[in-house]
Amino acid sequence: MSTRAPDYFAGRTDRVAALHVACTRWAGTPFRQRSAVRGELGGVDCASFIGAVFFDCGAVGLSVAIPPYTINHAEHSEESMFRTWFESPEARARVRAVDEAEAHLDGDIVFPVVGRCEHHAGIRIGDDIHHVARPSGYCAMRVTQLTLHRSRYRLLCSS
């Protein structure tokens, strides 16, 4: 019988508050592919944003490496590079797939529908999805403003 690590943000209002602060520090940052530099002169993409935010709030170490991707991949394919990456052994050591029946938890990694597969990601806190939209950059949108893929992942406490 294996026991998995607990969910990182579950029942931890201090961690969720730090996550929210880390997200909002990206306000005014434009979209820039494969970048994670905060501020008007910087730039960030959705995948790098998640890694940087989780690092900023102390949830992960600096060693989050986002695999290369093509920006319009989801327009032409139903094969999700995000899903493939999240299912890799390296990622699965720190995240778990969330069953559809499970209630939302602050800090869930969600996938707003853009194209034919999970190619865009954000972080859900309450009724907001914090993400990086192309071309505008960092934004927080209400859940009701987006359609989300059923796939979700949740960060686990490190062992």
Q: What is the pLDDT of residue 47?
A: 84
pTM for the structure as a whole: 0.84
| Token representation of residue 99 | 């069953």
Count of beta carbons in the 10 Å neighbourhood of residue 3: 5
Q: 120-147: per-residue pLDDT in tens?
A: 789 999 999 998 887 888 888 888 888 8
Q: What is the pLDDT of residue 112?
A: 81
Q: What is the pLDDT of residue 113?
A: 78
Spell out the domain ranges in the chain: 13-155
Phi, psi of 35 (to 5 degrees): -135, 160
Count of beta carbons in the 10 Å neighbourhood of residue 59: 22
Mutual orientation of helices 13-24 and 46-56 as an angle, nearest 10°? Answer: 130
Whole-number Cα distances in Å, 97 to 19, 88, 110, 138: 20, 12, 11, 25
Which of the 8 DSSP states describes residue 147?
A: -
DSSP helix/strand/coil, 154: strand
Q: Are 7 and 98 in contact (CB under 8 A)?
A: no
**Mean pLDDT in the chain?**
82
| Token representation of residue 138 | 């960092």
Give the mean model confidence (pLDDT) for residues 11-32. Answer: 95
Give the mean model confidence (pLDDT) for residues 63-89. Answer: 64
Q: Are 136 and 103 in contact (CB under 8 A)?
A: no
Note the CATH architecture for domain 13-155. Answer: Alpha-Beta Complex (3.90)
